[in-house]
Amino acid sequence: MADRDLLESLAAEVETNLVRHIAAAPEWQPHDYVPWDDGRNFEFLGGTDWDPAQSELSEVAKTALTVSVLVADNLPSYHREVGKYLRTGPWWRWVGRWTAEENRHEILIRNYLMVTRAVDPVELERMRMAHMTAGFRRPALHLLDVLATCAFEEAAAAVRHRNTARSADNVIVGAIAERLAADDELQAVFFANLVAAALDLAPDQTIRAIAGRVADFHVPVVQLADGRTSDEVLAEAGVYDRASEPELVFAPLLEQWKIFTRTDFGEDGEKARAELAHLRP
């Protein structure tokens, strides 16, 4: 099916899932997680500039939150990459809702980091400028590729935030990471449900997209100030290791979509399923 036909055919499913998502997503406020009493002015306004001794977070927590805020800061690029495919009716309303949720993550983490002086604000701003200037752009994709990619990306973000929460030695950081993970999981459900609907509508075409996105999957990577990449640092810290993606990101979604038990694939679909055999439980 052409992307235009898929957009129309799946529109009712988008509307249903948008209503479900909004009902399932609890209202929460970013400012509630920030210890505002810890805040004070920097030298520009007569206060004191940042000093490493002011940070009370572990290196793992600082790195994990730095990566999270830089990824979230690059939201304009992600909004563009998702929105350019989904510009009609309920699809566009979902893009707006998803963007608002992701922006809330950036607001929360940045406020927390600045108020608590957990990281060097000058260094963080320099990394933000570099990361956003470089931007993020995907090669041209079809609609089903976009949906599968987004399902995997949100599942991966949830894994990263759950692991951040587990490794946190700070109660507030743990609560923040759990909150973000819960949002990521709900967003992953939204995209996964659309992939499931597409499998029923165009099984061969959809599993081909899934297999392609598994083969080409990579999470957003941030270049850190010390020259290392977020991939390296988060793997070393046990927060997110790409070697665990088959077990923690791909397998749960493939099981949800019943990839290895479906009986409606044609020849092309069976070829695509064979490419996923290494993920079979």
Residues contributing to the annotated binding site for Fe cation = 102, 105, 154
Q: Which residues contact 97 (CB under 8 A, 6 or more apart)?
A: 18, 21, 22
Q: How far apart are the first and last CA of the chain?
A: 30
List b or e across 131-163, with b for residues whose CB sees 16 or more CB atoms inside 10 angstroms: beeeebeeeebbbbbbbbbbbbbbbbbbbbbbb
DSSP character string of 162-187: HHHHHH-SSHHHHHHHHHHHHHHHHH
C-alpha–C-alpha distance, residues 257 and 265, integer Å: 13
Annotated binding-site residue numbers: 102, 105, 154
Contact partners, residue 209, CB within 8 Å, separation at least 6: 142, 144, 145, 147, 148
Give CA–CA dist 220/42, Å, rounded. Answer: 31
